[in-house]
């Protein structure tokens, strides 16, 4: 998975840059913002930046999925470090059952509802 670790590394570097230097002064809102509707990914950049700065509450308010994204990124980095240093590559395979897919769908819907409940913060807040 060499391409994946490059994407993760790029994301970590960009997030660290945003945490140190701040976010760009312009926003790239979703087209749905004109209707007052936010999507599950809205606020993810600001949430990741707040998380990188250590402001867990603000990160959670902008988008709780940032914690999942950070966990996946750090797991990928740890896998790469272990693989490079120990020459043992950790691979995990899992298959979701129908119930598992329903749980994922339910969590996705709950995230969307959460984001919509915080639409004002997501659309107008800053880090």
Asked if residue 40 lies in contact with residue 111, where contact means CB atoms within 8 angstroms, the answer is yes
> What's residue 108's pLDDT?
96
End-to-end CA distance of the chain, in Å? 33
Q: Which parts of the chain fold into alpha helices (H)?
A: 2-21, 44-53, 56-62, 65-86, 98-117, 119-124
pLDDT at 92 over 90: no
**Which burial class, exposed, middle or buried, applies to 43 when counting CB atoms under 10 A from its CB (0-12, 13-18, 19+)?**
buried
Parent domain of 40: 2-124
Q: How many folded domains does the chain comprise? A: 1
Other Cβ atoms less than 10 A from the Cβ of 103: the count is 12
Q: Give the model confidence (pLDDT) of 33-64 as tens digits.
A: 778 889 999 999 999 999 999 999 999 999 99
| CB neighbourhood size of 65 (10 A) | 20
CB-based contact 68:107 (threshold 8 Å): no
Residue pLDDT, tens place only, 7-21: 888 988 999 999 999
């Amino acid at each position: 998975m060499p391409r994946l670790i490059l994407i993760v590394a790029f994301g970590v570097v960009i997030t660290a840059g945003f945490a140190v230097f701040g976010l760009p002064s312009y926003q790239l809102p979703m087209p749905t913002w004109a209707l007052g509707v936010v999507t599950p990914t809205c606020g993810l950049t600001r949430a990741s930046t707040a998380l990188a700065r250590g402001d867990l509450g603000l990160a959670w308010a902008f988008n709780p999925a940032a914690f999942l994204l950070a966990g996946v990124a750090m797991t990928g980095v740890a896998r790469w470090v272990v693989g490079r240093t120990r020459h043992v590559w950790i691979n995990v395979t899992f298959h979701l059952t129908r119930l598992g897919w329903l749980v994922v769908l339910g969590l996705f819907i709950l995230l969307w509802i959460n984001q919509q409940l915080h639409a004002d913060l997501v659309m107008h807040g800053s880090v």
